[in-house]
Amino acid sequence: MTTTPLASRPATSAPAAPQGPPSRRPSVTAEITCAQRALETMAPDGERLLHDPYARLFVRSPAFRLRMATPALARLTRRVFERRYPGYMAVVLLRARWCDDLLAEARADGIRQVVLIGAGYDTTALRAVPGDLIVYELDTPATQERKRALLARAGIEPATPTVYAPCDLEAEQLGDVLDRHGYDRHGRSLLVWLGVSYFLTPEAVRAALAGMAAVAAPGSRLVWDHMDPGVVDGTTPFPGPRRAAPIVARRGEPYRFGVDDAGAAALVAGAGFRPVAQVRLGTLGRRYGGPGGVWCRTDDFVGLMCAERVAR
């Protein structure tokens, strides 16, 4: 699950041009997101917003690894990144906390299938209760192959049954991918689609939601996030996404889709889901930060939603 623009060079330098088509190389933004989770995990217990002990495993860039060589360097890196791209640490950390809470609620309600759409270097299957879930991870072959190779090199197995499904969802139907990997369409699922919609065309977003509805049994839940339209068209007042947009575009992963909360609710309703909860970063910051709030800015350019599949 991807989202952020952190450059492997100093913030004042232009990032290197990507080599080869994006679909044929591991996602840079997936590694950056993992680096953010790893940096936060190094913070003291009373300060950090997220604890992901496996995130560091997938951070292979020498520049990224140097920045997390010590807790002091990690703290400095978090602060520098936060100043350069305010709001992005909040996006990665707070949505992960919220998604973990929604997963716990789904498990308590008897949902046992989790589908990670654009999984990146998500660590849900590594942190799960052993045998408690079956996790389907969907992503491009290049990113998925790299993830599996790093797990094998470290001698780490997922804690719960995990099915890896390499795919290109701009060219394949979600249902076709899941069907050939043994997915149970009659069982309820938690569908997690985070940090992905920003990079798709509007047509691909609508097709993806329709595909999710087609495979989701009634009572299944969808978690997704969306950027505001101003990030895509350049009118956002927030400095973080204004600085990030040209960087991710130069990397070959430009922001292409934005929608406001009302539009997002209409999209999922049209696909067959009922919005259950819509939250913004500020709301999550107050929820997880306590009276003093969170250490990072919660600039309001991303919305998040949980929706439930209605009866067909």
- CATH number reported for the structural domain that contains residue 55 in this entry: 3.40.50.150
Q: How many domains does the chain have?
A: 1
Find the range with the poorest average confidence among 12-16, 163-167, 269-273. 12-16
Contact 149, 137 (CB under 8 A): no
> 43 near 98, Cβ under 8 Å?
no
- Cα separation, 256 vs 79, whole angstroms: 28
For the cut 90, the answer to whether the pLDDT of residue 18 exceeds it is no
Task: Say if residues 264 and 305 touch (Cβ distance below 8 Å).
Answer: yes
Tell me what pLDDT residue 43 has.
93
Residue 4: inside a domain: no
> Above 50 in pLDDT, residue 19?
no
Write the pLDDT tens digit of every residue in 213-223.
999 999 999 99
Work out the average pLDDT over 168-180.
88
**pTM for the whole structure:** 0.89
Determine the Cα–Cα distance for residues 308 and 222; give it in Å rounded to an integer.
Answer: 6
Is residue 2 pLDDT above 60, yes or no?
no
**Quick check: is 177 in a domain?**
yes
Q: Are 249 and 14 within 8 A, CB to CB?
A: no
> Is residue 295 domain-resident?
yes
- Give, for 40, the enclosing helix (H) or strand (E): helix 28-41
**Pairing assessment for the beta strands 273-280 and 189-193 based on DSSP bridges:** unpaired
Asked if residue 16 lies in contact with residue 254, where contact means CB atoms within 8 angstroms, the answer is no
The pLDDT, as a whole number, for residue 126 is: 96
Least reliable range by pLDDT among 15-24, 48-57, 182-191, 275-284 = 15-24
Cα gap 312→23, rounded to integer Å: 34
pLDDT for position 1: 55
Q: Could you tell me if residue 45 is inside a domain?
A: yes
Q: How far apart are CA 216 and CA 223, in angstroms?
A: 13
Q: Supply angle C-alpha 224, 264, 87, rounded to 5.
A: 60
Question: Looking at 15-29, 77-91, 117-131, 164-178, which range is the least confident one?
Answer: 15-29
What confidence tier does 23 reach under pLDDT thresholds 50, 70, 90? Answer: low
In a domain, 91, yes or no: yes
pLDDT band at 253 (very low <50, low <70, confident <90, very high): confident
pLDDT tens, position by position, 28-86:
889 999 999 999 999 988 889 999 999 999 999 999 999 999 999 999 999 999 999 99
Across the chain, the runs of DSSP E, i.e. the strands, are 113-117, 134-139, 162-166, 189-193, 221-227, 273-280, 302-309
Of 38-47, 95-104, 256-265, the range with the lowest mean pLDDT is 38-47
How confident is the model over 112-134, as a mean pLDDT?
A: 94
User: What confidence tier does 152 reach under pLDDT thresholds 50, 70, 90?
Assistant: very high
Is there a domain that residue 188 lies in?
yes
The chain-wide mean pLDDT, for the chain, equals 90
Mean pLDDT of 84-100: 96
11 falls within a domain: no
Contact by Cβ (8 Å): 34, 58: yes
Question: What is the distance, to the nearest Å, from the Cα of residue 141 to the centroid of all Cα atoms in its chain?
Answer: 17
Question: Is residue 201 in a domain?
Answer: yes
Catalogue the long-range contacts made by 64-72 (C-beta closer than 8 Å, 24 or more residues apart): 64/6, 64/8, 64/31, 64/32, 64/35, 67/35, 67/39, 68/35, 68/38, 68/39, 68/42, 71/42, 71/43
Distance from the first to the final alpha carbon of the chain: 29
Query: What is the residue range of 246's domain?
Result: 22-309
Tell whether the model's pLDDT for residue 21 goes beyond 50. no
